[in-house]
Amino acid sequence: MTTRRTFLKNTALATAGLGLAPAVSGTLAACAPSDRINVGLIGCNGMGYSNLREFLNHPEVECIALCDIDETVLNRRAGDVEKIRGTRPANLYKDWRRLIDNKDVNLVIVGTPDHWHCLQMVAACEAGKDVYCEKPLGRTIEECNIMINAAKKNKTVVQVGQWQRSDPHWLEAVDFLRSGKLGNIRLVRVYSYQGWNTSIPVVADEPVPQGVDYDMWLGPAPSRPFNRNRYHFTFRWFWDYAGGLMTDWGVHLLDFALYGMNVTAPKSIMAMGGKYGYPDDACETPDSLQVIYEFEGFNVMWDHAIGINDGGYGRNAVLGFVGENGTLVVDRSGWEVIPEVVNKVTRMEAIPWKKGTNEGLKNHVKNHLDCIVKRNQKTTVDVEIGAHIAKFSALGNIAYRTGKKLVWDGTRFTNDTEANSYLVPDYRAPWKLPKV
């Protein structure tokens, strides 16, 4: 099973052979040198850099700018790009606004923590640049609405980093689901059990590390003393910046629950969970959580846990579409169908495990580049698709934080004023929520 950690490791290994010729996008190979796509990356750790490496597998793409608030990370990544391409990026920034202002940058990769996505993507759109934005697209409902408007108004070609949509076996599984052979679907079970994500011990606040612009890292988030738990990868376990596993893995897995069932907004949401595994650690987001989304005629059930791997169907991050005749099981490695056997009668034929290709990110980046050349805003995961599932995942967290069953009309909660207070974020001055 591919976890975030093994995915990043495999990506690094796959691109380490500098003697290999990079993959070429057929569409871009025909472009004149003047049509070269100049990329700037904001947020150079983790998936931001993995995304950049995949873009650099296309010779027509050139990285001309990097931005990170940590000088150590920034300089290391500049050296990494030089090893891949033989040339160090000419422009290194600690303030992302300077990268946006660089008129030579055509495409901005937003690889920063979730609380920064809205401001940076909107600024890039308004500067006339295309955007590859890491998931979740936005942290709150209103941020997602604003980002949709910015992309549409400025005709920006946006790809959101939900690369499972570009992995062929997922689409093959959805095609089978929609064939009707499973019969009526009663429930979609969605599990994210991440055993490799263990407890985050409480540590004391400390001075800001040398070379780090911590105030810029915080940006629109509340002012807090520097604490390494809130920094780099583990930011996602704090409400100021992200939404825990619910939004981290949820946008991948829940996306296919909705896509497979061809539905959008739920009728209601309820959630139960807490810090059951690690009650005294530093994380704010729940290490165990179950969310029920109610639709007409079926439910979607989300179930996550940190520190254990025993999810559904013997897998750790997986969906099960439960039908009258059988259950379709799909994860990042492949898919299968498990027949229903009732009163010794097998209701359908089993489909043995069909292994996937693990080429989601590769295909996702190629699709984005092809769409940029054609000025086609309908990328595989365009801004509306990314916004929809970011909102859907956020609804689960709001239900958890309020402790109530919430009724949703597609725009707001109709039965709870407190829940509606979570729809629009409060930004720390001088940062302001964009107006588009």
Considering the domain architecture, whether residues 43 and 60 belong to the same structural domain is answered as yes
Peptide bond into 339 cis (omega under 30): no
Question: What pLDDT, on a 0 to 100 scale, did the predictor assign at position 198?
Answer: 85
* Residue 15 predicted with pLDDT over 90: no
Query: Which tokens go with 391?
Result: 């909102």
Question: What pLDDT, on a 0 to 100 scale, did the predictor assign at position 14?
Answer: 36
Domain membership of residue 427 (yes or no) is no
Domain membership of residue 432 (yes or no) is no
Considering the domain architecture, whether residues 148 and 217 belong to the same structural domain is answered as no
* Phi then psi dihedrals of residue 30, to 5 deg: -85, -5
**CATH code of residue 138:** 3.40.50.720
CB-side exposure of 107: number of CA atoms within 13 Å?
27
Residues spanned by the domain of 92: 4-165+362-386
* Residue 60 predicted with pLDDT over 60: yes
Domain membership of residue 324 (yes or no) is yes
Question: What pLDDT, on a 0 to 100 scale, did the predictor assign at position 22?
Answer: 36
Question: What pLDDT, on a 0 to 100 scale, did the predictor assign at position 34?
Answer: 64
How far is Cα of residue 148 from the mean position of the Cα atoms in its chain? Answer: 16
Least confident of 1-15, 142-156, 224-238: 1-15
Domain membership of residue 118 (yes or no) is yes
Considering the domain architecture, whether residues 214 and 349 belong to the same structural domain is answered as yes
Considering the domain architecture, whether residues 39 and 176 belong to the same structural domain is answered as no
Question: What pLDDT, on a 0 to 100 scale, did the predictor assign at position 27?
Answer: 40
71, 139 Cβ separation under 8 angstroms? no
How far is Cα of residue 179 from the mean position of the Cα atoms in its chain? Answer: 28
* Residue 102 predicted with pLDDT over 50: yes
Question: What pLDDT, on a 0 to 100 scale, did the predictor assign at position 97?
Answer: 98
In tens, the pLDDT along 340-379 reads: 999 999 999 999 999 999 999 999 999 999 999 999 999 9
* Residue 35 predicted with pLDDT over 80: no
In whole numbers, what is the pLDDT of the chain averaged over residues?
A: 93
Q: How far apart are CA 151 and CA 153, in angstroms?
A: 6
Query: Which tokens go with 91?
Result: 């422009």
* Residue 115 predicted with pLDDT over 70: yes
Closest CA to 166 of 353, 9, 365, 307: 365
Tell me the average pLDDT across 328-332: 98
Question: What pLDDT, on a 0 to 100 scale, did the predictor assign at position 11?
Answer: 38
Task: Please give the share of the chain, as a percent, with pLDDT higher than 70.
Answer: 92
Task: Please give the share of the chain, as a percent, with pLDDT higher than 90.
Answer: 91
Query: Which tokens go with 234?
Result: 């583990």
Domain membership of residue 431 (yes or no) is no
Domain membership of residue 281 (yes or no) is yes
What separation, in Å, do the N-terminal and C-terminal C-alpha atoms of the chain show? 41
Q: How far apart are CA 232 and CA 70, in angstroms?
A: 10
**CATH code of residue 351:** 3.30.360.10
Q: How many domains does the chain have?
A: 2
**Which residues are registered as beta bridge partners of 292?**
270, 301
Considering the domain architecture, whether residues 137 and 194 belong to the same structural domain is answered as no
**Which residues are registered as beta bridge partners of 355?**
334
30 or 298, greater pLDDT: 298
DSSP 293-313: EEETTEEEEEEEEES----GG
Domain membership of residue 71 (yes or no) is yes
User: What pTM, to 2 d.p., does this model score?
Assistant: 0.91
- Kindly tell me the sign of the dihedral angle through the C-alpha atoms of 127, 128, 134, 140: positive
Closest CA to 395 of 221, 284, 246, 264: 246
Closest CA to 119 of 145, 95, 147: 147
* Phi then psi dihedrals of residue 387, to 5 deg: -65, -40
31: exposed, middle or buried (Cβ count in 10 Å: 0-12, 13-18, 19+): middle
Query: Which tokens go with 372?
Result: 């940029």
Confidence category of residue 32, pLDDT binned at 50, 70, 90? low
In tens, the pLDDT along 251-308 reads: 999 999 999 999 999 999 999 999 999 999 999 999 999 999 999 999 999 999 999 9
For 63, 73, 80, 86, 229, the CA distances from 76, given in Å and listed in that order, are: 14, 5, 6, 14, 22
Considering the domain architecture, whether residues 187 and 298 belong to the same structural domain is answered as yes
Query: Which tokens go with 359?
Result: 């080429």
Residue 73, sorted as left (phi over 0), alpha (psi -120 to 50) or beta, turns out to be alpha
Least confident of 90-94, 193-197, 321-325, 389-393: 193-197
Confidence category of residue 48, pLDDT binned at 50, 70, 90? very high
